[in-house]
Structure 1
Amino acid sequence: MDQILQGDERLDYLLAEDLRIIQSPSVFSFSLDAVLLAKFAYVPIRSGKIVDLCTGNGAIPLFLSARTNARIIGIELQERLADMAKRSVTYNRLEHQIDILQNNVIRIADVIGYEKYDTITCNPPYFPAIEASEKNIREHVAIARHEIHLTLEQAVRSASELAKQGGKVAFVHRPGRLLDIVTAMRANRLEPKRIRFVYPKEGKEANTLLIEGIKDGKPDLKVLPPLYVYRADGEYTEEVRQMLYGEEN
């Protein structure tokens, strides 16, 4: 245990997948958005190749490993987060399936290959770059949340460069960026095919957007039923409980 953890890191359970993940309250912990994207994205079940961009501490590759036997590559710019992800992969004995690369998402296809992958997932930074004085004091979190090193358009372009023709690319973002993400997808040969809005609870505005496109696909967008995170009593809805814990009420 001492060798696998560093500093204030802890091992958290991914209950639905029966896996563990290394997290740090001062450096990085994954959010519900990672869970939502991992459950939303299409993945080939038996074989194939998947890339997760902006992988952070490796949550999405770990989630996806429970759904598929495909090879998964996680790309993370920050060395500390990539190292956490690598150690989580090792702890769960998933080295045969998951590779974590510490590298820039921009032009990552130069490194791992163009148009070779069945599925690309991406949980990119949501917020525009801002002055240093206004950023979250934790640099790791600021880089993960703000477009300091990666813009939305750059993330979409890189995803398209990786996806093979007919491959699927899925993003999680904020509803306020819907037109930006659709515009960027279409400019990069990714035709939006499925979209789902996530709401904190019924009666509230959507605060999360899930969208999936197909490389060189034909126009035919399906808007899926809304996903509500909490019930009126503040407890998770049945669908979200299933995602997080693998159980239903």
Structure 2
Amino acid sequence: MADSKATNTEEQAKDVLLSGERLDHLLTRDLQIIQSPEVFSFSLDAVLLARFAGVPPKGRILDLCTGNGVIPLLLSTRTEARIEAVEIQPRLADMARRSVALNGLSDKITIHEDDLRSWVPQHSGTEGIFDAVTVNPPYLPMHSGEHKGNPHLAMARHELGCTLEDVVAACSKAVRAGGRVSMVHRPTRLADIIVGMRRYRLEPKRIRFVHPKPAAEANMVLIEGTKYGKPEVRMLPPLIVYEDSGSYTQELLDVFYGRKAELTDTKLQSDEEGRA
């Protein structure tokens, strides 16, 4: 049955793939995603954020800077909530929509082509309407490095379309009181993230550093805050990507193959909810 489903999906993909695009497997729930090295391909940070983020079993979730929609696709395996996503680049938003349709998830995931700095969700009032918000924003400040080459990759990597403050402000505006905002970023920006979150009434609650190997310096940080939460942040155990031998750690393998739906300890998460 699984082989038949995969074959049917691959046949459908022939009609939706554009020049330079390919179809990749997400290794969980038979999900597939349209990618293009010329435009955008997701990386480990997006997968880890989708498994780290605290999400409700039902309700509404928003993903900002969605790229080709990998985070909404992965989140759909963890919750029955409605998921909306915002992407400023037309080509990426189009890829995300086609991937959502290809996986039969158009009734659960909606992709908006818009600017997170001005986008306003339907039926929103003065307070946010989303129970959870996720975001994998551009990591590099606009003035850092060279970004005159591929415009798609430049915007995904550098703060050309939005700054870190723009991102945090949009997250705070979108999430309801008591809701969660989860982000993946570079550890070098952690101080800026924490200051920004508190400025926009998002109290940092959970932080987990990601290390390529046990003795290596962290190269990613996962952080989650609660809207109007009480001050108390917990440092989770470090997440190690590779063993010293070069093979993936068991936790990463469990995430990749869908054997583990989330990275966090469920008891710790329950304790946090009681303290929010």
Q: Please give the TM-score of this superposition, normalised by the length of structure 2.
A: 0.86
Q: Which amino acid aligns with 2:141?
A: P
> Deviation of residue 137 (structure 1)?
1.8
Within 1, Cα distance between the matches of 2:146 and 2:179?
38
| Cα distance change on mapping 1:240 and 1:112 into 2, 3 Å | farther
Within 2, Cα distance between the matches of 1:247 and 1:136?
41
Listed one character per residue, the Cα deviations across residues 172-201 of structure 1 (whole Å, up to 9, x for unaligned) are 000000100000000000000000000000
Q: Which amino acid aligns with 1:90?
A: A
- What is aligned with 1:126? 139
Matched, 1:146 2:164: no
Q: Which amino acid aligns with 2:164?
A: L
Within 2, Cα distance between the matches of 1:176 and 1:57?
26
Within 2, Cα distance between the matches of 1:110 and 1:51?
10
- What is aligned with 1:62? 73
Of 76, 91, 100, the residue aligned with 1:89 is 100
- Where 2:15 maps in the other structure, the secondary structure is coil
> Deviation of residue 17 (structure 1)?
3.3
> Deviation of residue 106 (structure 1)?
0.7
Of 76, 81, 86, the residue aligned with 1:75 is 86
Of 83, 100, 106, the residue aligned with 2:111 is 100
Count the aligned residue pairs.
Answer: 246
Q: Which amino acid aligns with 1:181?
A: I
Q: Find the structure with the greater CA-based Rg.
A: 2
Within 2, Cα distance between the matches of 1:87 and 1:195?
33
- Where 1:3 maps in the other structure, the secondary structure is helix
Q: How does 1:27-42 map to 2 (within 5 A)?
A: 27-42=39-54
Q: Which amino acid aligns with 2:37?
A: P
Listed one character per residue, the Cα deviations across residues 104-140 of structure 1 (whole Å, up to 9, x for unaligned) are 0113236673410000000000001138x92162110
Q: How does 1:44-63 map to 2 (within 5 A)?
A: 44-45=56-57, 47-63=58-74
> Deviation of residue 149 (structure 1)?
1.0
Q: Which amino acid aligns with 1:69?
A: E
- Where 2:111 maps in the other structure, the secondary structure is strand
- What is aligned with 1:209? 221
- Where 2:93 maps in the other structure, the secondary structure is helix
| Cα distance change on mapping 1:144 and 1:112 into 2, 3 Å | farther
Q: How does 1:186-225 map to 2 (within 5 A)?
A: 186-225=198-237
> Deviation of residue 161 (structure 1)?
0.2
- Where 1:72 maps in the other structure, the secondary structure is strand
Within 1, Cα distance between the matches of 2:119 and 2:196?
18
Structure 2 residues not aligned, in runs of 5+:
1-12, 261-276
Q: Please give the TM-score of this superposition, normalised by the length of structure 1.
A: 0.95
Within 1, Cα distance between the matches of 2:34 and 2:104?
14
Of 20, 30, 54, the residue aligned with 2:32 is 20
- What is aligned with 2:274? none
Query: Does structure 2 retain, via aligned residues, the 8 Å contact 1:156–1:185?
Result: yes
- Where 2:68 maps in the other structure, the secondary structure is coil
Within 2, Cα distance between the matches of 1:232 and 1:110?
46
Within 2, Cα distance between the matches of 1:79 and 1:225?
38
| Cα distance change on mapping 1:63 and 1:110 into 2, 3 Å | closer
> Deviation of residue 243 (structure 1)?
0.9
Identity over aligned pairs, percent: 53
Within 2, Cα distance between the matches of 1:130 and 1:17?
40
